[in-house]
Amino acid sequence: MTQHNMLSLVQEQLAIDLNCSVSDLNGEKDSLVFVAYKENQGRRPFPRSSHHFEMLSMGNSIIVSATPDIMNIIKPELSGKDRDNAFSIPYILGHSLYYLPDLGVIKPLSAPSGFDFEMAERNDMLELYKNEGFHNSLSYDINHSRPDVIAFLAKHTGKVVGMAGAGADCEKMWQVGMDVLPEYRNHGLAAYLVNNLTIEILRRGIIPYYGTASSNVASQRVAHRAGYLPIWICAYRGRFEGMDVSPTS
């Protein structure tokens, strides 16, 4: 897989999710593209509220995908605004940054000393769910619409103390999440776990991606150390005249 091929596949998926075109995502100048939200076949099965809103940018152009009631409110507010001001309007309740591996840079990191490591597969998940405190890594639901498919564990004296896990958001993309128990942080575990899980997912021909809140600087540093590049920003939570557009679950 090349960097260009990986990005093209991700853009194809995002276009399905947003109900836009790949050319919309690739806009070379600052522009706002408004599209009607649609439950397209093959979209990633994230929960959506009945008042759906999503705003995404991969660089210059901004795609705004929304149900008609939200579009009627937000389109006049956004029209004429540049990218930075568009993502700063008061309706938006937060941003998430999404990363893809930098294939020209990523390489296996050295393991922190004093820990044991192991890979867990789909058929190990029920046993993993007995470990609490890893809600960024695991769904704790064997029937989840985005199932847990793989995890890389750190153990100390037999206890699971850190984990990077991946859920199958769609056929081509698995999202990586990470947790380290508080008393075991600052040992380099987070970046090591994410890095090794990412390389394993790539080896299987799947695209790993990593997401974090724009305010979570520590998580962004983990992504950088693990060999990731920021690729897109997305806002999908907001409040419009009393209508809560946060995901329903």
Give the CATH number, domain containing residue 185: 3.40.630.30
What pLDDT, on the 0 to 100 scale, is given for residue 46?
92
- Report if residue 110 sits inside a domain: no
In the predicted structure, residue 210 carries a pLDDT above the cut 50: yes
> Which are the contacts of 69, defined by CB distance < 8 A and separation ≥ 6?
51, 240, 243
Mean pLDDT, residues 110-117 taken together: 97
Judgement on whether residues 92 and 120 belong to the same structural domain of the protein: no
Side by side, which strands form the sheet with 148-156? 31-36, 61-66, 53-57, 228-235, 96-101, 207-213, 173-180, 159-168, 148-156, 116-121
Across the chain, what does the average pLDDT equal?
Answer: 93
pLDDT tens for 122-166 read 999 999 999 999 999 999 999 999 999 999 999 999 999 999 999
**What domain range includes position 139?**
116-210
Specify the higher pLDDT residue, 47 or 173.
173
Judgement on whether residues 28 and 64 belong to the same structural domain of the protein: yes
In the predicted structure, residue 239 carries a pLDDT above the cut 80: no
- Report if residue 34 sits inside a domain: yes
What is d(CA 191, CA 102) in angstroms, rounded to the nearest whole number? 14
Domain count, the chain: 2
Mean pLDDT, residues 202-219 taken together: 97
> Which are the contacts of 98, defined by CB distance < 8 A and separation ≥ 6?
209, 210, 211, 230, 231, 232, 233, 234
